[in-house]
């Protein structure tokens, strides 16, 4: 896997931004190995992802210097990352295991740059799967307390396990605004439709009843409004009149797991920049 220091930047577009940043890196003795920039001409916005190799090995001091010398004068929103550092991911699931299986198999095969210390569920059904992979499984059933209490215990778990990113791998509960606010752009959900078509409950049944000829899946960051956060990835597949609603569920699973894993991978590679309820995905 690739290594190096990274920068994710966005700001108002202005002349010379790329030269400013890359010259600074050159002055630090570094070498840019990956640069992807995007200017939104309608919004007048500049977006950039950049990976570079530093002889000094990077570190917080370097990032602080970049902030002071370049980012602040240019009024950039930015964050730095190190590709070698693995994020810590918690998976929230309910009863359906296809997304969980898929993420764990990829993770085991070394495709996902993360640790997965924790699986949380409101059901016991997927405990064996999680434990087979040696993961900690916590069941917080709705029988055990109010929604607020359960969320408090979830938050405590996420904190105990020093979680960076939460993946809702077909977790069928709606998180409270407070929870969502605490994890802005760090909770990834998979919704089983081509949003904005068929938000909410039972999208495959909605799709079947409407008679569409394609079904879809959407991975997005969770925001306050249900199924309306910034979209990271989507995919569709062809269906026909021969497919029952049950067939749509089955065929849709293949979309869901691919789209969710792809979105998670982009997120873990720091390729996703969220702005104005949309994403720039530097893939």
**CB of 23 or CB of 142, closer to a copy of itself:** 23
Check: CB of residue 160 under 8 Å from CB of residue 131.
Answer: no
| Cβ-based burial of 220 (10 A; exposed 0-12, middle 13-18, buried ≥19) | buried
Does the active-site annotation cover 102?
no
| Cβ-based burial of 173 (10 A; exposed 0-12, middle 13-18, buried ≥19) | middle
| Cβ-based burial of 143 (10 A; exposed 0-12, middle 13-18, buried ≥19) | exposed
Size of the site for a copy of itself (CB under 8 A): 68
Active-site position among 227, 243, 254, 283: 227
Minimum Å gap between C-beta 8 and a copy of itself is 13
Is 254 among the residues that bind a copy of itself (CB under 8 A)? Answer: yes
Is 278 among the residues that bind a copy of itself (CB under 8 A)? Answer: yes
Q: Judged by CB under 8 A, which of 19, 61, 143, 146 binds a copy of itself?
A: 19
Residue 65 CB partners (closer than 8 Å, separation 6+): none
Tell me, residue by residue from 133 to 172, as one string, x for binding to a copy of itself by CB under 8 A and - for no binding.
----------------------------------------
Q: Judged by CB under 8 A, which of 39, 68, 148, 156 binds a copy of itself?
A: 39
Is 16 among the residues that bind a copy of itself (CB under 8 A)? Answer: yes
Helix (H, G, I), strand (E, B) or coil at 81: strand
Nearest to 189 by CA among 154, 164, 223: 223
Nearest to 203 by CA among 188, 219, 217: 217
Q: Judged by CB under 8 A, which of 75, 143, 201, 211 binds a copy of itself?
A: 211
Check: CB of residue 13 under 8 Å from CB of residue 44.
Answer: yes
Q: Judged by CB under 8 A, which of 74, 86, 101, 138 binds a copy of itself?
A: 101
Which residues are catalytically annotated? 227
State the residues that interact with a copy of itself by CB under 8 A: 15-19, 22-23, 25-26, 30-42, 47, 96-98, 101-102, 105-106, 108-109, 111, 132, 194-198, 210-214, 216, 230-236, 238, 240-242, 244-245, 250, 253-254, 258, 277-281, 283
């Amino acid at each position: 896997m690739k290594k190096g220091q990274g920068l994710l930047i966005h700001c108002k577009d202005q002349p010379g931004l790329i030269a400013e940043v890359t010259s600074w890196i050159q002055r630090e003795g570094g070498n840019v190995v990956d640069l992807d920039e995007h200017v939104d001409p309608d919004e007048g916005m500049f977006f950039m992802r950049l990976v570079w190799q530093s002889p000094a090995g990077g570190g917080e001091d370097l990032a602080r210097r970049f902030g002071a010398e370049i980012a602040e004068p240019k009024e950039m929103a930015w964050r730095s990352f190190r590709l070698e550092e693995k994020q810590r991911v918690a998976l929230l699931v309910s009863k359906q295991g296809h997304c969980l299986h898929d993420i764990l198999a990829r993770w085991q095969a070394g495709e996902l740059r993360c640790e997965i210390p924790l699986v949380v569920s409101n059901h016991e059904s997927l405990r064996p799967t999680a434990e087979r992979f040696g993961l900690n499984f916590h069941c917080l059933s709705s029988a055990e307390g109010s929604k607020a209490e359960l969320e408090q215990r979830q938050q405590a778990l996420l904190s105990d396990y020093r979680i960076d990113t939460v993946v809702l791998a077909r977790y069928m509960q709606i998180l409270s605004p407070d929870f969502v606010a605490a994890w802005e752009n760090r909770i990834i959900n998979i919704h089983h439709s081509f949003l904005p078509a068929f938000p909410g409950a039972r999208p495959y049944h909605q799709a079947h009843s409407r008679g569409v000829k394609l079904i879809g899946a959407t991975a997005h960051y969770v925001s306050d409004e249900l199924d309306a956060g910034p979209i990271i990835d989507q995919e569709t597949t062809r269906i026909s009149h021969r497919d029952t609603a049950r067939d749509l569920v089955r065929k849709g699973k293949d979309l869901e797991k691919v789209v969710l894993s792809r979105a998670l991978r982009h997120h873990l590679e720091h390729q996703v920049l969220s702005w104005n309820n949309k994403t720039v995905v530097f893939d």
